[in-house]
Structure 1
Amino acid sequence: MIENMDYEEIVMGIIVNAGQCKSFAFQALQQAKKGNVAESAALMAQSQTMAKEAHILQTQLIEFDEGEGKIPVHLIMVHAQDHLMTAMLAKELIQEIIELHQR
């Protein structure tokens, strides 16, 4: 079973990585607006790495839970999930905006 400390660490890991994902994506957009294509691409790659890290942590919880409700759903977990989903959406939309800037 995932112990309380592991649970908290995983949830906080999701929040931190999702925040970094979104932050790198917005930095990439700023660089794209300035015409710094290479810097923008590098920042988007970092954003993708952070998204993957958050997703790995989320997957650990899902695999442990096995759809049986083994993982308690506290407000902080809801916050983490919300943070991850908004970060992923922001990253995807920012990638589209960057491509428009490059045209």
Structure 2
Amino acid sequence: MNEEELLQVAMQLIIHAGNAKSECMEAIQLVKSGDFSGSTEKIEAANQSLTHAHHAQTSLLTNEARGEHVQPTLMLIHAQDHLMNAITFRDLAKEMIELYTRINTQTS
């Protein structure tokens, strides 16, 4: 994989991870306002974005498994950081949605 292709993969990771994190933030805001179905839809959208990011990441892993060593760059490390943060943020958002749903169910 040449430098340009590696940069393209890194940018895909950043874009999709950023989209996922934004969707999760919107999900939290929706659940806080009582829109439980809307928050669930946003989490599903975040999952779709993370799936796209994983496809980009898988292309790197596949190349590595084939013996095509990828020289890590600062951009690639930054992209991986974005992806891991987005996954963590999604997991925490799901927990918050569950908590808000429980609280709402108990007080109704």
Aligned residue for 2:69, secondary structure, equals coil
5 Å matches for 1:27-38? 27-38=26-37
CA deviation string 1:22-48 (max 9, x = no partner):
110010000000000111111111000
> Paired residue for 2:3?
4
- Return structure 1 stretches of 4+ with deviation > 3 angstroms: none
> Paired residue for 1:57?
56
Aligned residue for 1:72, secondary structure, equals coil
Report the TM-score, using the length of structure 1 for normalisation. 0.93
1:67 CA drift (Å): 8.0
The answer for unaligned runs of 5 or more in structure 2 is 103-108
Larger Rg: 2
Q: How many pairs align?
A: 102
> Paired residue for 2:14?
15
Distance across 2 between alignment mates of 1:48 and 1:67: 28
Give the letter for the 2:96 counterpart: I
Distance across 1 between alignment mates of 2:58 and 2:40: 27
Give the letter for the 1:62 counterpart: L
1:3 CA drift (Å): 2.7
Give the letter for the 1:34 counterpart: S
Distance across 1 between alignment mates of 2:75 and 2:14: 9
Distance across 1 between alignment mates of 2:67 and 2:94: 36
Give the letter for the 2:14 counterpart: I
1:54 CA drift (Å): 0.4
Distance across 2 between alignment mates of 1:82 and 1:69: 22
RMSD: 1.3
> Paired residue for 1:47?
46
